[in-house]
Structure 1
Amino acid sequence: MATIERVEVLVTSPGRNFVTLRITTSDGVTGLGDATLNGRELAVASYLEDHLAPLLIGRDPARIEDTWQYLYKGAYWRRGPVTMTAIAAVDVALWDIKGKVAGLPVYQLLGGRSRDGVLVYCHASGTDVEALLDDVARYQEQGFHAIRAQAAVPGLSGSYGVRKGQLYEPAATNLPDEQAWSTEAYLDVAPGYLAKVRERFGFGFHLLHDVHHRLTPIEAARFGKSVEELRLFWMEDPTPAENQEAFRLIRQHTTTPIATGEVLNSIWDVQGLITEQLIDYVRTTVVHAGGITHLRRIFDLAALYGVRTGSHGATDLSPVTVAAAVHVDISVPNFGVQEHMGHTAETYEVFRGTPRLANGMLYPSDEPGLGITYDDEVAARFPYDAKYLPVARRLDGSMHDW
């Protein structure tokens, strides 16, 4: 019987920081898992290297469920983003190994395809409305059928989601950038620029918008009601999700679909949101919600209540997570949409074999396992580069949710 022989924690920064776990078995099979937690990367690297790696040596790599329970229940201090990201890295690496041993892509081990491809949404943005409209047109020309739209709020440095370069990557300084925010100004302009998108491009594509946790429940309800005629695919993270009861108030006032969950880490964090049908899309992701094993539990629960999937997929998730997500997405019956942002050319030199993008859809690799390889020589060219996500302050100087 093969056992886990080596556990390596690999840190590289080809445009942004990624933490990767590589597990090697005694018969030479390797598996990769993503362990990236944006702005707190080294906390997960330490958790893996100092605490989990010694526990894995000598274990049977085929016992994925048992290993998941061992790492989760054995910690005593459960859940949270650091713990669940570390467990996810181990879990995904073991699924990668299992696929390679079986000679099958991971999605075949999950029951095979439920669809031909995975619908993705891209990120259109602009420093003003005209720039946003031009960006939407550009993505439509590329064949995307689902587009998130964000534009800057005039006079504010803290407008979320506005791209500065080729890719949107907010972690850009060695100390958090402090950005000004005004909810009143945002509520004055956001419904208007979303209406402009519909006026110019019509209703022949899915239009999404990310509020990014910035509204109170009643403000979110007012926003959702104001955009109902625009038929948004969803409004994302309308209010901080720690208070699941808050979504009941939003539901009482608007029929605009709600998506949340990218910062939530377990089935218990979304249980009430799902079972009480307070959301329409659950956005938990492979890397931050305990890996493929635990994400499937969340999605299976969601399926019972008519809630669809919409996993987070920003640039702070490595191509390993993108690949794992697509293997899950293509197999689950209640798939909704997958966020897709892409990565820098340097990132694709380190991580090779990413899912194929065509006509607004992602298609998983049919190579055994996840279909991703890691190039150590290229990765060594990009040492860790400390960066933080921004923080937001109201105009009076008090802290606000970023």
Structure 2
Amino acid sequence: MSRVAKIETYTLTLPRDGETLYLGDQKSGESENARGYFVRKGNRTVYPTVDRSILLRLETTDGIVAWGETYGLVAPRATMALIDDFLADFVIGRDPFDAAVIHEDLYNMMRVRGYNGGFYLDALAAIDIALWDAAGKVAGLPVAKLLGGRRHDEVSGYVSGLPGATLEERAGLAKSWQEKGFNRFKFAAPQADEDLGQEMDSLRTTLGKDAKIACDMHWTNSSAEAIAKIKSMEPYGLWFAEAPVDPEDVKGLARVAAGVGCPIGVGEEWRTVYDAQLRIDAQGVDIVQPEMGHTGITQFMRIGQAAQSRNLKILPHATIGSGVFLAASLQASSALENVVGHEFQHTVLKRSSSLVTNGVVCEEGMFRISDTPGIGLEPTEETISKLEK
């Protein structure tokens, strides 16, 4: 029987250029500090000046190598230390097919100490993805088959992020992707300097009546402010509004959902089904957006199943990384009935073809789901050469 023999973590740091800036160039007053971090004024959130994720390499007793990935944008060595100095020894010797049980064991070890989010759950996500990848490789099956079966051979992608200094540039960028076969888009409110209604008007005029257009509001509003802004966009056919209020403001989220006419999407910051259930029970969400880099496959599926039990739509989030946790997200998404699409960050995905084998493919607006065992890809030699302990 295959058992986990070794776990190692690495950082993968990738420089940004003009094509990999989700929120565009740094603006006045957003200078980085000595550690290379800066705060975006538009959403009050800290970012590094590079893209950075954590890759986890898992090796089994029979020589199978599997991979996991999680966020490493801020203080990556905190997450790595949790794995290297603490969690790995509780996973070595375990059966990869017990991935969900292992996840529960690791979560239970620290739940009474309040470690139900942040770096700790990100560490668990990387381990969990690697365990599922290993199990799929041992079985010779794609992960979707281990999750109960594949419902989707392909999943519709939506273009996320329209960086550009002017409204005209952002609309032009959206049009260029429409010409490549995409017809669903999401713009980021912090990047839109103009009135959000004006932003929607410009995009609708450029993209036509059939395009779906959403707005990511980046958790920056009170419920009253969010309702007013959403109502200003609704006349232009707003597809959905994402993250309208602070993540902690569950009652405010419910007020927004009840006070507007378009769907509300949330979930990229969630780590567990407990986060999801709180918002679902409050009737504050119409579209659930789990992020594989924070949840891992086990919690991603539990969040998705909780959404399905209430007939909510699932539209997974996906952002930085080499492509490893994006591939895992697509495998899990293909096994969930209520998935209606998946985020496509063109500013990140373009480079994945050189970072992973069987690179994640999204053409003419559709992600193709890999049939390769495990999550469906491997880091390339180029990626491995960039890994740092």
| Aligned with residue 94 of structure 1, among 123, 128, 131 | 131
Q: Deviations over 1:321-340 (max 9, x none)?
A: 11011111112011122111
Aligned residue in 1 for 2:153: 116
One-letter code aligned to 1:10: Y
Q: Identify if the C-alpha distance between structure 1 residues 286 and 381 changes in structure 2 by more than 3 Å, giving closer, same or farther.
A: closer
| Aligned with residue 256 of structure 1, among 255, 262, 286 | 262
Moved over 6 A (4+): none
Report 1 or 2 for greater relative contact order, CA contacts < 8 Å, sequence distance ≥ 6. Answer: 1
| Aligned with residue 82 of structure 1, among 114, 119, 124 | 119
Aligned residue in 1 for 2:87: 52
- SS where residue 163 of structure 2 aligns? strand
Summarize the alignment of residues 67-216 of structure 1 with structure 2, pairs less than 5 Å apart: 67-76=102-111, 77=113, 78-122=115-159, 123-150=161-188, 160-161=190-191, 189-216=195-222
Is 2:359 the counterpart of 1:354? yes
Q: Deviations over 1:12-42 (max 9, x none)?
A: 2133222111111101112111122422322
Percent of counterpart pairs with the same letter? 27
Deviation at 1:231, TM superposition (A): 2.0
Name the CA distance, whole Å, in 1 between partners of 2:12 and 2:257. 42
Indicate if the aligned counterparts of 2:10 and 2:388 stay in contact, CA closer than 8 A. Answer: no
Name the CA distance, whole Å, in 2 between partners of 1:246 and 1:11. 37
Most deviating of 208-217 and 350-359? 350-359
- SS where residue 352 of structure 1 aligns? coil
Indicate if the aligned counterparts of 1:36 and 1:318 stay in contact, CA closer than 8 A. Answer: no
Deviation at 1:304, TM superposition (A): 1.5
Q: Identify if the C-alpha distance between structure 1 residues 246 and 105 changes in structure 2 by more than 3 Å, giving closer, same or farther.
A: same
Most deviating of 360-369 and 33-42? 33-42
- SS where residue 214 of structure 1 aligns? coil
Is 2:337 the counterpart of 1:333? yes
One-letter code aligned to 1:259: G
Q: Identify if the C-alpha distance between structure 1 residues 26 and 116 changes in structure 2 by more than 3 Å, giving closer, same or farther.
A: closer
Deviation at 1:377, TM superposition (A): 5.7
Indicate if the aligned counterparts of 2:52 and 2:321 stay in contact, CA closer than 8 A. Answer: no
Indicate if the aligned counterparts of 2:99 and 2:132 stay in contact, CA closer than 8 A. Answer: yes
Aligned residue in 1 for 2:69: 34
| Aligned with residue 227 of structure 2, among 196, 221, 224 | 221
Q: Identify if the C-alpha distance between structure 1 residues 345 and 252 changes in structure 2 by more than 3 Å, giving closer, same or farther.
A: closer
**Whose helix fraction is larger, Structure 1's or Structure 2's?**
2
Q: Can you give the 5+ residue segments of structure 2 that lack an aligned partner in the other structure?
A: 16-50
Indicate if the aligned counterparts of 2:318 and 2:345 stay in contact, CA closer than 8 A. Answer: yes
TM-score, with normalisation over the residues of structure 1? 0.82
Is 2:376 the counterpart of 1:365? no
Indicate if the aligned counterparts of 1:37 and 1:82 stay in contact, CA closer than 8 A. Answer: no
Indicate if the aligned counterparts of 1:126 and 1:132 stay in contact, CA closer than 8 A. Answer: yes
Deviation at 1:74, TM superposition (A): 1.4
Aligned alpha-carbon RMSD (Å): 2.0
Most deviating of 219-228 and 118-127? 118-127
TM-score, with normalisation over the residues of structure 2? 0.84
One-letter code aligned to 1:298: I
Name the CA distance, whole Å, in 2 between partners of 1:279 and 1:131. 32
Aligned residue in 1 for 2:20: none
Q: Identify if the C-alpha distance between structure 1 residues 23 and 269 changes in structure 2 by more than 3 Å, giving closer, same or farther.
A: same
Q: Deviations over 1:326-380 (max 9, x none)?
A: 1111120111221111437665433222222121011121111111112356433
